[in-house]
Amino acid sequence: MTNFTPREIVSELDRYIVGQHDAKRAVAVALRNRWRRQQVQSDLRDEIVPKNIIMIGPTGVGKTEIARRLAKLSQAPFIKVEASKFTEVGYVGRDVESMIRDLLELAIIMVKEEEARKMRVKAESLAEEKLLDLLLPGEVDRSPDKQDQHQHTRDKMRKLLRMGELDERYVEMEAEVSSMPQMNILTPQGGEDLGMNIKEMFGNMFPKKTKRKKLKVSEAREQLIESEAERLVDMENVHALAKERTEQTGIVFIDEIDKVASREGMHGPEVSREGVQRDILPIIEGSTINTKYGPVKTDHILFIAAGAFHVSKPSDLIPELQGRFPIRVELNSLGEDEFVRILTEPKTALIRQYKALLETEGLTLSFEDSAIHEVARIAKEVNDSTENIGARRLHTVMEKLLEDLSFDAPERQEAKVVIDADEVKARLTGISSDEDLSRYIL
């Protein structure tokens, strides 16, 4: 996040998400604060804790989409988890500590890819030599004349290889295949790492097997480069860097946090609600999680939670957990105007997606403005009369509208199709006006 200011982060989010300015500002400031903390002198740096965020708003207004885009924007380990998947320790379900282990695994993949890219030039050189060995098999005569001749041939082949003249030729190469049988290991609650370690131990016991494969030179080159780059990477260094990156810049997005809120008037044990909150609490407050790569401290990991809170409310969360989310942002419900913007404005707008899909069949699809407004009106109408699922309703409405066109596209003769308001009404009004039918179709 070194080069992104909060304004630039909001601007980037605006390209994909309509409205919700307060939520965008909050996450932009939180992300920028990660970079600011790194610039502070070391004695104060450890005292600056992340300002965790809780996003409140009905389903389909952009909470998860903000998280998805943040994952691409932030050059940091990022994981999205569902709070409803976890249960209290000792019960069947996922252990809350697994979110940190998963975050570390993602960080390792990120760092490993970065280190492999740094080694690519050296790997390309080594891969080229191996490829030339495959193209020129056989023992080399050690006499000076034969050696000079062999080197001359090798240099000519190298030149042809670099020019791409040999890309379509085939070579045979050895590839490692797993000799370990498929096995599932049942482990106790929170013992996911134990199962992985046992698998690794068994994997090392079985001898490595190789298999000869026939590949085009272009494909073989890429495989050799990848394997050489991977071999050059120092995994101990990768694990150390990944652990540091997880601790200092990691971000965890906890969706459906409202599903673990204890609702008023409910009695009895709630192993997937209050118990989960109490298990999550020490992780958010700052604790040390044991992983197979060593202990990971969670003091400076940023947590962003989100929930609809249409049955429960934020105050139903245990007070200690509420205190760990100092920033609360409310997201607004979406209306007809927002639906029109969602259909047309974002870089990946729904209408652009459908146009691109049908272009593959040779069809040019276009929507009149009146048709777009009619689609938005019907989506809003169905949301009001049945369940309000926000912008997700647009997917079902658009799919129903273009169902016949998508089916008949390969056989259609005309090259251009224009959708107007009358066609939208003809296809959708009957369904949207029948509340019982729209519950099942839209």
Mean pLDDT, rounded, of the chain? 80
Model pTM score: 0.75
Structure confidence at residue 268 as a pLDDT band (50, 70, 90)? very low
Query: Region 54-72: what's the mean pLDDT?
Result: 83
- Give me the half-sphere count of Cα atoms (radius 13 Å) on the Cβ side of residue 241: 16
- Asked whether residue 24 carries a pLDDT value surpassing 80, the answer given is yes
Supply the angle between the helices 392-401 and 350-359 in degrees, to the nearest 10. 30
| Residue 70 scores a pLDDT above 60 | yes
The pairing of beta strand 170-177 with beta strand 209-216: antiparallel
pLDDT for residue 7:
92
> Across residues 200-210, what is the average pLDDT?
62
Q: Which of 287, 249, 242, 309 is nearest to 104 (CA)?
A: 242
* Res. 180 pLDDT band, cuts 50 70 90: low
DSSP letter at 150 equals H
Residue pair 314/56 in contact by the 8 Å Cβ criterion:
yes
What pLDDT was estimated at residue 104?
A: 92
Helices (H), 293-346: 319-323, 336-344
